[in-house]
Amino acid sequence: MSFTSVNPHDPGDVLGEWDEAGAAGAAEAAGRAARAARVWADTPAAARARALGDAAQALEDRAAEFTGLVVREVGKPLSEARGEVARGVAILRYYAQSALLPDGETIPAAEADQLLMSRRVPVGVAALITPWNFPVAIPLWKAAPSLAYGNATILKPAAAAAATALALRDLLSAHLPADVFQVVLGEAETARTLIDHPDVGAVSFTGSSLVGRDISARAAARGLRVQAEMGGQNASIVLPGADLERAASMVAYAAMGFAGQKCTATSRIIVADEVYDQFRDALAAAIDALAVVDPADAGTLVGPVISERARAAALEAVAGGGGRLLTGGHGLDMPGYYLAPTVVELPEPAGRLATEEVFAPVAAMIRAQSAEQAVQIANDVRYGLVTSVFTGDLGHALRLTRRLETGMVRVNAPTSGVDFTAPFGGSKESSYGPREQGQAARDFYTESRTVLIVP
């Protein structure tokens, strides 16, 4: 079976056609990775660090090429694509240095002449299953720590980002031993073969909650270590005392930037009654100022959604969501998969737009009578990835951070945006397993081994 990747701005522009790896191809890749893992685990940390540092330099040297590929393949606006590639370079350099950090500690032994210590050792083979929306950053923030700590690594990207994944494979493989980093293309059969393969020791997934729950269950049944990042229904809360113009600009971009196709995008805008009308007007003006056209244009901030299917699903959600359209709610008369940035005012926090992720430039606006009710509304969904709070009272904001049921809370900052040096993940159905990124990644891609030496 084969599949293609097309440009969502110009669907007639086909980036490539490839055959799926399928069960046989995935199993073969896992076997090669298991053999390569033994060699890579025995490679000194300094050599692993040097390889990642060289890969970082290669990516920086080819930044314009990768930026153009991201714009073309997934429709990411040029400014964001540049930022994503630059983040990829920084991630590789960060984990190149992390490979040189202490890999264990000594512990007082029962006898004075004994040596008792714990060390972190690689898990062997890590399988990474990644989405299309961050085709450079997400594969690298998984692969870089996996490789830094000595694991062979297999990437199974989303079909819509196949060309970028193959370009990353070629770039990384030039600095690594054979089969230490591989890419397998395919859909569910390919992914399930990797999860079920006896040579795979860890699975890291980013994508939908439906798929993530299936992957987590399959991996847990095998006793695999697994982490799954599964999206969100993120709220931006606007309270009295906030800088409303600044907040409106941030919320508009967090909800609509890159056509809302981020797991950290703002889906719900919860505004205190006291400032609701003023903020609504500022938000509408900020959204109207966002450029939606060709993502290769330096001034574009929104761009197309990934496919016609995604656009149709978003329009269906808006049509069935109830409430009153503040802006948007229709496709654009352009060749690509364009949707006007859309905000729907809801009379109450109920229905699909208030409870489910749409993954498009669509957000619900909800009135709250108080900060306490705003928190209750924000918490009253099955997801818990990130919440933003806009307020001038930082003491109050600090108290709210303890009550909000999300893995990340950002005060006077947009929901979108990731600090790759800090743990990333959510609560409730947004995440399963340990956190990603920062030094938390070492705990996932390695396991502790206690060693006692008796003379």
Q: Which residues are catalytic?
A: 229, 263
Q: Other CB atoms closer than 10 Å to residue 340's CB: what's the count?
A: 16
Q: What's the CA gap between 422 and 407, in Å, rounded?
A: 12
**Joined tokens for residue 359:** 């993954």
Residue with tokens 């890159």, as numbered in its chain: 258
**52 to each of 64, 95, 140, 359, how far by Cα in Å?**
20, 8, 11, 33
Dist. CA 259–CA 326, nearest whole Å: 17
Instruction: For residue 390, give both structure tokens.
Output: 């806009």
- Burial of 276 (C-beta count, 10 Å sphere; 0-12/13-18/19+): middle
Cβ atoms within 10 Å, residue 83: 15
Q: Which of helix, strand or coil describes residue 93?
A: helix
- Burial class from Cβ neighbours inside 10 Å (0-12, 13-18, 19+) for residue 312 reads middle
Residue 228 contacts residue 433 (beta carbons within 8 Å) = yes
352, containing H or E segment: helix 352-355
What SS3 class is residue 338? coil
3-state helix, strand, coil in the chain (%, to 5): 40, 25, 35
With 0-12 CB in 10 A as exposed, 13-18 as middle and 19+ as buried, what is 308?
middle
Please report where in the chains the tokens 């049509």 appear, as a residue.
319
Between strands 202-206 and 125-130, the pairing is parallel
Name the residue type at position 246. R
Helix (H) or strand (E) holding 98: helix 78-98
Which residues lie across from 450 on neighbouring strands?
118
Sort residue 125 into left (φ over 0), alpha (ψ -120 to 50) or beta. Answer: beta
